[in-house]
Structure 1
Amino acid sequence: MRPLFCVLGVLAVMLAAPALGQAKLRLVADTWPPFTDAGMPGGGLATSIVTTALARAGYPSEYEEVPWARALLGVSEGRYDVLINAWYNDSRTRIGQFSKAYLTNRIRLLKRKGDSFRYSRLADLYPYSIAVVRDYAYSPAFDSDIRLHKVPVRNFSSAVRMLAAGRVNLAVEDEFVARYNLQREPESVRNVVVLVEPALGENTLHILVSLKHPEHRQIVERFERSIEAMKADGSYARLLRQHGF
């Protein structure tokens, strides 16, 4: 009986974990410091959390940064397996499976210093032009309101420079991303803009696993279990501290 138990034990381990030597998951994100940036330790906070959780779940991975629109297209076509830094959007469920949230982003408006603009509800934005990063989702209400005058731009740097130059009235971005990137803008930009209270909204951050991957459900389930384990053993909190959160 002992050899039989050994065989059954080996089979159980093989079924419970991904096969050894399996292909690496192809992770993708746009450059979005301090969350995703190949030039930062661990690739940024989000990259560190996701790669650690996937590794603990038994999935080796490789990471690439491309413009946001290309990242989405790559996930939809199956050229990438996992989009690291996705806010939930109904339309994206047609190309990938979302995990549960692993971080939360606070979305803020920016205006020029001295501007009398005040924000309390979405209708307050109707008279103004707002720089938004092309193909980003901010909040369901903001994204779907056709009365808003949105000006698509390539990235936050383009948005805030247009704002500083008076080419748009407002810009919008995650609070931590805005603060991080403003420190890297020239004084002529960072000293003339200010964040607006209250926040436009909060977005939860997820991984989006391509539906083209035959194990997308399993990857999401194992990723979520790893995140819970990381929170329980303190490793999740350590990563937050390491990245200044």
Structure 2
Amino acid sequence: MQHCLLLVILLLSDLVIAEPIRLTTGEWPPFHGAQLPHQGVATRIVNEAFTLEGIEVQWEFLPWARSLQMAAQGQRTGTAVWRRNAEREEQFFISDPVLLSHQHFFHLKNRNFAWTTLDNLQDLRIGATRSYFYGRDFERAETAGRLNVHRINSDEVAFRQLLGGRIDLFPMSREAGLSLLAQRFTAAERARLNFHAKPLSSASLHLLLSRQVPGNAELLECFNRGLKQLQDNGKIAQYLWGVQHPHP
């Protein structure tokens, strides 16, 4: 921990004391949110991992595209949490997984269906939020016309169309979907919905530290060490359980 604190002091050597590192993120309840408890579960995990290494974090909540761009250009230390891809590997030092995100098909409880491949869903109307990415397999099936996909303006509208019978399925991160339902829908509406146990896609989400900021490679080592402590002591599992069982 002392090594990591010294690193931050050296990076800010023109200051009398070490200042917080500056990270960007966007609104994505329950993972990130300026008004959420602990500013979201992913924010909390990142904060506590750094705290274990003696490092304080200052967060800025921005539109997602700007959040990523400012970090990539080195205007901020980094950004969280994101999937990894080839472009981001060129721009950032990428942490060990902060958490795993699983997208599931939400549906009315009175609709029973089974699926092993996306081709099993050809006869169903699938809602999908505009510009959202649901995995390569879904993207290819949608582009090829093998799925009946209706692009919708927002997650909330998609859930309302699901309740109204205008679509049959709606894929969304399990935790984000449950959070939205808990905050925006009545108990009676929530009682009509469920999600399929088989995930549509799964992806690890990461802290990204800009390659344009000196010392970030070493800072990432500090973060990963703190993150492992949180994993080993069960804190991450505890925090995720809380968002997987939300209360309205």
Q: TM-score range by the shorter chain?
A: 0.7 to 0.9
Distance 1:123 1:97, change over 3 A: farther
2:99 aligned with 1:99, yes or no?
A: no
Q: Which residue of 2 aligns with 1:218?
A: 218
How far did residue 178 of structure 1 move?
1.3
Q: Which residue of 2 aligns with 1:85?
A: 81
Deviations 1:27-49, CA, capped at 9 Å, x for gaps: 22222222212222211211111
Contact 2:5 2:55 in 1 (8 A): no
Contact 1:131 1:168 in 2 (8 A): no
Distance 1:240 1:186, change over 3 A: closer
Distance 2:19 2:25 in 1: 19
For normalisation by structure 1, the TM-score amounts to: 0.75
2:172 aligned with 1:176, yes or no?
A: no
Deviations 1:134-193, CA, capped at 9 Å, x for gaps: 3x5444433555335665656532432343345544322221221122112233853554
2:18 aligned with 1:19, yes or no?
A: no
How far did residue 60 of structure 1 move?
2.5
The one of 27, 30, 35 equivalent to 1:34 is 30
Q: Which residue of 1 aligns with 2:14?
A: none
Instruction: Provide the aligned C-alpha RMSD in A.
Output: 3.4
* Structure 1 unaligned blocks of 5 or more: 1-11
Q: Which residue of 1 aligns with 2:197?
A: 197
For normalisation by structure 2, the TM-score amounts to: 0.74
The residue identity in structure 2 corresponding to 1:230 is L
2:45 aligned with 1:45, yes or no?
A: no
Q: Which moved further from structure 2: 143-152 or 47-56?
A: 143-152
Distance 2:4 2:81 in 1: 30
Distance 1:166 1:48, change over 3 A: same
Aligned positions, number: 233
Contact 1:17 1:58 in 2 (8 A): no
Distance 1:91 1:162 in 2: 35
Distance 1:221 1:31, change over 3 A: same
Distance 2:184 2:167 in 1: 17
* Structure 2 unaligned blocks of 5 or more: 11-16
Question: Which secondary structure does the structure 1 equivalent of 2:184 belong to?
Answer: coil
Q: Which residue of 1 aligns with 2:59?
A: 63
The residue identity in structure 1 corresponding to 2:178 is R
The residue identity in structure 2 corresponding to 1:19 is I
